[in-house]
Amino acid sequence: MLAGVDGKIYAFDPRGLSRTKDTTGLLSSTGGLFSPAAVDFGNGLLIAGVQDSSLALINATDANTDGVFESVQTTAVQVGDKISVPATFADLSITPSVVVGTAHGVVAQYSYTGTLQKKTTISGSPVTSFAQLPTPSLSQPSELFFACGGRVYSEQSSVSLGDSTLPWMLAGAASRSGNFLVAAQRGGRRVIAYNRELTQKLFDLDLSADTLLSLSIADIDADGEKDVIAVMKSRLFVINRTGSVLNGFPIAASAGQSYVGDALVAELEGDGSPEILIALSTGELAAYRKEGRMVSGFPVLFMSGGNASVALFRSSAGSTGLAGLTSSGSMQAVEILRPYSSGTVVWSQYLRDSRHSNVDGSGGGSSPVSSEFLPKSRVYNWPNPVYGPTTNIRYYTSENAAITVMIFDLAGVKIAELKAQARGGLDGELSWDVSNIQSGVYLARVEAAGSSRTEVAFFKIAVVK
């Protein structure tokens, strides 16, 4: 667990113990202006923090796997303008990037070693948010979107949001009906969704309750399509792709309470539908089902200080853990006595994950729903190339099927076999652990066996260490 407090970065293990040689957990005296981003390299982390106009790239290594970083090396990169948003890790080309935005409309991409890859000046207004969407391209696994001066930009286009008086925040959704992007006015009431190309407005809503705090994305009603979770001070909205509010929502906070921070999404009850977890100003934690009903046993008192920023993690016992950080810098963690699985934790923290990808890519991709049994365009892995310890193998079948994934090296030697059950009409995923796999290109064979037919698809996986 990483935390940015008063410009400093702290690191703790799932038990709350320091992961540094400092008993307070202090990892770096700089870089903690915003929540730090991180990628896992198996025996350590690469952390991206920001401080004023400086990007701090911190390599923290635990070579002997005792849980303590014995080596912490920091590279300070001067961006040349005050950084206005948290750093994000993005695979925008074969070479991965760390991306920052500044107060005067500059978007800068750096390599993991701090070398400038690209710098673009968009306008004189601050960059206020980043989001990513996955692509099927090996040369560009992700595409970047950002909000600046009342507009949303991608590499190819931009669109006006119609109002620049308040900052806009973004979130991305990978959907089987086409990837889409959501923008919301922080402190305002408008929520707008566009298709990936920014050429079609999917909806434009005025949530006339009070003020918007945060966005999250997940398939709350388990219909195979992503929904938008919009947190306001007094109301919690869940909106589908067409702009309709789901049955049972919005949910009003109780008298004397307000919602704070980000809505987290994870399957807690084992019924195939995720639940929404949200902190309350009184220090309680609420959890809601897809119908808008409170999960049994909630709300629970979590932090007496209230106003906590919360995140989900895997505890040392393999259960789902919940950590909270108050505005005063107090941290607390508890176990929710349910097994933790990356496949059932959809939105685990601020900006979705430790990379700050700010996109729910857990199902869909950018292709439309297909009548093919195993459409080849919807069988792939992400991220690709693979720089971390795992990659996700995505598949889609039009009917229920048994999935077998076999992975071969280029000499034809099988090095892994994975199995799963596919649910017809929805995308599925398997996780492949590459922590003990050498760098190279591998061939994946995905077989789907239905009740009356069997089909096979192939694709390549690049592992880079």
How many C-beta atoms surround the C-beta of residue 363 within 10 A? 21
Looking at the structure, give the CATH architecture of the domain made up of residues 376-463: Sandwich (2.60)
What is residue 439's predicted lDDT score, i.e. its pLDDT?
A: 95
Residue-range domain boundaries for the chain: 1-116, 125-364, 376-463
What whole-number distance in Å separates Cα of residue 31 and Cα of residue 45? 15
110-117 long-range contacts, Cβ below 8 Å, gap at least 24?
110/55, 110/57, 110/77, 112/46, 112/57, 113/57, 113/75, 114/55, 114/57, 114/75, 114/77, 117/93
What whole-number distance in Å separates Cα of residue 318 and Cα of residue 341? 9
CATH number assigned to the domain covering 1-116: 2.40.10.480
Burial profile 89-110: b = 16 or more Cβ within 10 angstroms, e = fewer = bbbbbeebbbbbbbbbbbbbbb
What whole-number distance in Å separates Cα of residue 268 and Cα of residue 275? 6
Structure tokens at 102: 């500044």
Closest to 32 measured CA to CA, from 11, 55, 54, 51: 51
Helix (H, G, I), strand (E, B) or coil at 338: strand
The radius of gyration of the chain from alpha carbons, rounded to an integer in Å, stands at 21
Contact 27, 11 (CB under 8 A): yes
Is residue 5 exposed (0-12), middle (13-18) or buried (19+ Cβ within 10 Å)? middle
How many C-beta atoms surround the C-beta of residue 271 within 10 A? 11
Domain 125-364 class? mainly beta
User: CA angle, corner 150, sides to 149 and 151, nearest 5?
Assistant: 95
What whole-number distance in Å separates Cα of residue 41 and Cα of residue 389? 6
Q: Tens of pLDDT along the chain (465 residues)? A: 899 999 999 999 888 889 999 999 999 999 999 999 999 988 899 999 999 999 999 999 999 989 999 999 999 999 999 999 999 999 999 899 999 999 999 999 999 999 999 999 998 999 999 999 998 887 889 999 999 999 999 989 999 999 889 999 999 999 878 899 999 999 999 999 999 999 999 999 999 768 999 999 999 988 788 999 999 999 999 998 888 888 889 999 999 999 999 999 998 887 778 999 999 999 899 999 999 999 998 998 887 766 678 999 988 888 888 888 876 677 788 887 678 887 789 999 999 999 999 999 886 333 444 578 999 988 989 789 999 899 989 888 888 999 999 999 999 999 999 999 887 866 677 889 999 999 999 999 999 999 989 999 999 999 998
> Residue 35 carries which side chain, given as an amino acid letter?
S
What pTM value is reported for the model?
0.77
> What's the order of all strands across the beta sheet hosting 401-408?
414-422, 401-408, 440-449, 454-463
